[in-house]
Structure 1
Amino acid sequence: MPFSCFSCVSWFEAKNAMDSREEKIIRKWSDSVEADTEIGLVLTEDRRSEALENFAEQLSLLAPRVKVRREVNAGAEMPAILIGSNISYHGIPSENELETFLNALRPGADESGTGGSEASGAEHIPLPAQLDLYIMMHCSFCPVAVKKLVALAAAGPRVRLRIIDGFLFEERAKKDGVRSVPTLLLDGTCRWAGDIDLKEVIAMAIRRDTSTLSAGSMENMLKEGEAVRLAEMMVERGQIFPAFFELLVHEKWPVRLGAMVAVETIVERNSDLSRQIAAPLWERLEHAGDAAKGDILYILGEAGDESMIPGFESFLSSNPGRELREAAEEAVSRIRSRIRS
């Protein structure tokens, strides 16, 4: 189905309330729910957060077994409804997608079998795989794609699935070059549109070039405590993965910390390779947030060589704050210490 958004704002405002048909669907689904089901709700400063919150509140009133766990995260990319541990839903389930969304809250409850057998092999995906599925609520083909990908996420613990309403989040769809729905992206590079073959998606996720891992997939590795493994992958390839630099300047401290652990491992295992980090990272120093600059200077002190010293001297002459001055001086000291040894 071709993608178009002629009045996202009007639709967004209209969907602040469910219609009677949608309420009936939820009540019928609720009658079949025998145990409490928890969903997460990530709220940001984005005005669309209000619509997702309204939907979650109405859902919990109509289906009392649904418990909503709220989280305010101003730094999140998009407001979201979280399903299980590895699915985020960026949209307001309605029209063709409402029943599909409800079935996703109870893995295995959908008796159609769509996607179940096709997802076999997902458990063998060796590295985090970021999957972005673009849909629209009135799309007649999208529910099948959602069912397939939900089954894949259930079968593959390494899969991180984002289901994105390209109509509501038009700017995101345009950024990713989405022209029709359903469209699936793997790590922001591999792309499928229309009838999505799960076997092909799984095969690609298993054999993909590790150097093309997205920042999101590498961030997931850091969150799972695999900073050393990520470093070893880069050492084995003899290459610093391009998206890795996004983690080194990330606005969140835990992400930068994990990336620094990876850098320290690379320095220890292959000091020559670590030199590939210095110049590209130095270029990002000026535009990094204040909180990240001190960490960047630390990394440059670990990975840089004598060629970096003039740059540090220029930085120091610009009268940075006390903390950044101390970080830069310590970095120069470590570099000079390595030269002497």
Structure 2
Amino acid sequence: MPLNEYDRRALLSWNAHVSGQVCLRLCLTRDPRSAALQTYAEDLRALSPHISLHTAFEDTDDLPGFFIDDSWIWHAVPSGAELRPFLETLALFQEMSAALRRYREDRLASTLGPIRPDLRQRLLGLQSHRELLVFTAPQCPQCAHMLLELAPMPFITPYLMVRVVDALLCAERAQAAGIRSVPTILFGEDFRWTGRVNLAHVLEVVCRNESTELSAAAAIRLLKEGKAQELSRLMLSSSNPWRDFPAVLTHAEWSVRLGALVVLEELVDKDPLKAQAYLPLLWNNMDELPAAVQGDVVYATGIVGDPAWTERVFRWAEKQVEDSELREVGEETLNTLKRKKKP
């Protein structure tokens, strides 16, 4: 999707006020929208000498996106009202990088506008990851206003990430999330703000609620960053099991499933009942999973389960007539379960 003439002029104007190189990462996937993001990225690179574009491909069906540091992810082709916040966020990241982020709070205090000092301190005091999911549209002026207000906040702390989803480009995601108007901000499953919102109120919830579960996408991102221990700590601090964690344990990528198994082992060690709560959810959709993923679910059953799971694993193993590796996983899990004490 190439830039239109209005957006080109906006980009050229932005060029005149930026110095140095701004690093922008583009993650492409098997999702067909990757082509639109790639075309857009090529336009950006051609029109702006300041944008240093790094492109990578992940063999998944996840949404493609632009990454500004690890603070902002844009599942969008920023145009219209979305373009200025996108460019301003890039410029802010460049400023922060140039200053080596040595004076975050003082440097950004003036850009945070009317946000109370105590909320700013809460952001600086965050010790676990938070993700805000923001649905926008290219022709929405309120979206642009809100994104501009949000722009500096994730750069204050490494524990806040903002994920922008264009509700028109990713209509099925918007529909699944129940989005009826934009802008809409989601925080976990329980918090939602629509329209012109006071971001100070949003921050109060984000900074206060230590037990809110992360989405599957946020959990996967932590695992890909090698932060399985951090994910374990967040899950242990939650009062209930995370509804999206089975999707992480059965992710298409082996490295993600491996990280999730490490987290599961930590849960078993410190809160076995919470860990065991995931097994029924995993087995409910067992027949729909690829063979390799089924093998990992059975392996996880050996880690988490008790002898009560022996019969179900045995029935599964009997069906693996043509796959010796899966049969071996089944046999090892059965032996592990038999060595455990009955509940």
Same fold (TM over 0.5): yes
For 1:329, which of 328, 331, 334 is the aligned residue? 331
Residue identity in the other structure for 1:169:
C
Q: Could you say if the C-alpha distance between residues 40 and 116 of structure 1 is closer, same or farther in structure 2, counting changes exceeding 3 Å?
A: farther
Q: Which runs of 5+ in 2 are unaligned?
A: 96-107
Q: In structure 2, what is the equivalent of residue 278 of structure 1?
A: 279
1:18 lines up with 2:3 in the alignment = yes
Q: Could you say if the C-alpha distance between residues 304 and 211 of structure 1 is closer, same or farther in structure 2, counting changes exceeding 3 Å?
A: farther
Task: Confirm or deny: 8 A CA contact 1:125 1:205 kept in the other structure.
Answer: no
Q: Could you say if the C-alpha distance between residues 115 and 74 of structure 1 is closer, same or farther in structure 2, counting changes exceeding 3 Å?
A: farther
Q: In structure 2, what is the equivalent of residue 214 of structure 1?
A: 215
Question: Take 1:237 and 1:48, find their aligned partners in 2: how far apart are those partners?
Answer: 35
Q: Could you say if the C-alpha distance between residues 270 and 39 of structure 1 is closer, same or farther in structure 2, counting changes exceeding 3 Å?
A: closer
Q: Could you say if the C-alpha distance between residues 55 and 207 of structure 1 is closer, same or farther in structure 2, counting changes exceeding 3 Å?
A: same
1:88, CA displacement in angstroms?
1.3
SS of 1:141 mapped into structure 2: helix
Question: Take 1:279 and 1:86, find their aligned partners in 2: how far apart are those partners?
Answer: 35
Q: In structure 1, what is the equivalent of residue 135 of structure 2?
A: 134
Q: In structure 2, what is the equivalent of residue 49 of structure 1?
A: 34
1:132, CA displacement in angstroms?
1.3
1:307, CA displacement in angstroms?
1.2
1:156, CA displacement in angstroms?
2.9
Once the two structures are superposed, residues 277-334 of structure 1 have per-residue CA deviations (whole angstroms, 9 ceiling, x without a partner) of 3333222332222222222111101111111111122112223411111001000101
Task: Confirm or deny: 8 A CA contact 2:31 2:61 kept in the other structure.
Answer: no
Task: Confirm or deny: 8 A CA contact 1:130 1:216 kept in the other structure.
Answer: no
Structure 1 window deviating more from structure 2 (46-55 vs 182-191): it is 46-55
Question: Take 1:276 and 1:333, find their aligned partners in 2: how far apart are those partners?
Answer: 22
Alignment of 1:26-41 (within 5 A): 26-41=11-26
1:202, CA displacement in angstroms?
1.8
Percent identity over paired residues: 27
1:69, CA displacement in angstroms?
0.9
Q: In structure 1, what is the equivalent of residue 174 of structure 2?
A: 173
Residue identity in the other structure for 2:64:
P
SS of 2:153 mapped into structure 1: helix
1:188, CA displacement in angstroms?
4.1
Task: Confirm or deny: 8 A CA contact 1:142 1:181 kept in the other structure.
Answer: yes
Once the two structures are superposed, residues 222-270 of structure 1 have per-residue CA deviations (whole angstroms, 9 ceiling, x without a partner) of 3444434544555565743332222211212222112211222222334
Task: Confirm or deny: 8 A CA contact 1:114 1:147 kept in the other structure.
Answer: no
Q: In structure 2, what is the equivalent of residue 255 of structure 1?
A: 256
Q: In structure 2, what is the equivalent of residue 100 of structure 1?
A: 85
Once the two structures are superposed, residues 114-142 of structure 1 have per-residue CA deviations (whole angstroms, 9 ceiling, x without a partner) of 64553723223332212111111111211
Once the two structures are superposed, residues 127-175 of structure 1 have per-residue CA deviations (whole angstroms, 9 ceiling, x without a partner) of 2212111111111211111112222222231122111211222111111
Q: In structure 2, what is the equivalent of residue 7 of structure 1?
A: none
Alignment of 1:86-125 (within 5 A): 86-107=71-92, 115=112, 118=115, 120=120, 121-125=122-126
1:64 lines up with 2:49 in the alignment = yes
Question: Take 2:131 and 2:37, find their aligned partners in 1: how far apart are those partners?
Answer: 23
Structure 1 window deviating more from structure 2 (55-64 vs 38-47): it is 38-47
Question: Take 1:35 and 1:334, find their aligned partners in 2: how far apart are those partners?
Answer: 58
SS of 1:178 mapped into structure 2: coil
1:42, CA displacement in angstroms?
1.8
SS of 1:339 mapped into structure 2: coil
For 1:339, which of 334, 337, 341 is the aligned residue? 341
SS of 1:38 mapped into structure 2: strand
Task: Confirm or deny: 8 A CA contact 2:231 2:263 kept in the other structure.
Answer: yes
Task: Confirm or deny: 8 A CA contact 1:100 1:143 kept in the other structure.
Answer: yes
Once the two structures are superposed, residues 67-103 of structure 1 have per-residue CA deviations (whole angstroms, 9 ceiling, x without a partner) of 2111122415212122122211122222222222211
Alignment of 1:185-196 (within 5 A): 185-196=186-197
1:30, CA displacement in angstroms?
1.1
Question: Take 1:145 and 1:323, find their aligned partners in 2: how far apart are those partners?
Answer: 52
Q: Could you say if the C-alpha distance between residues 268 and 44 of structure 1 is closer, same or farther in structure 2, counting changes exceeding 3 Å?
A: closer
Question: Take 1:172 and 1:251, find their aligned partners in 2: how far apart are those partners?
Answer: 19
Q: Could you say if the C-alpha distance between residues 206 and 44 of structure 1 is closer, same or farther in structure 2, counting changes exceeding 3 Å?
A: same
1:54, CA displacement in angstroms?
1.7
Residue identity in the other structure for 1:145:
M
Once the two structures are superposed, residues 162-203 of structure 1 have per-residue CA deviations (whole angstroms, 9 ceiling, x without a partner) of 112112221111111111111111124311111222222222
Q: Could you say if the C-alpha distance between residues 238 and 334 of structure 1 is closer, same or farther in structure 2, counting changes exceeding 3 Å?
A: farther
Question: Take 1:151 and 1:295, find their aligned partners in 2: how far apart are those partners?
Answer: 41
Question: Take 2:232 and 2:308, find their aligned partners in 1: how far apart are those partners?
Answer: 24
TM-score, structure 1 normalization: 0.85
Question: Take 1:245 and 1:130, find their aligned partners in 2: how far apart are those partners?
Answer: 19
Superposed CA RMSD in Å reads 2.7
TM-score, structure 2 normalization: 0.85
Q: Could you say if the C-alpha distance between residues 270 and 65 of structure 1 is closer, same or farther in structure 2, counting changes exceeding 3 Å?
A: closer
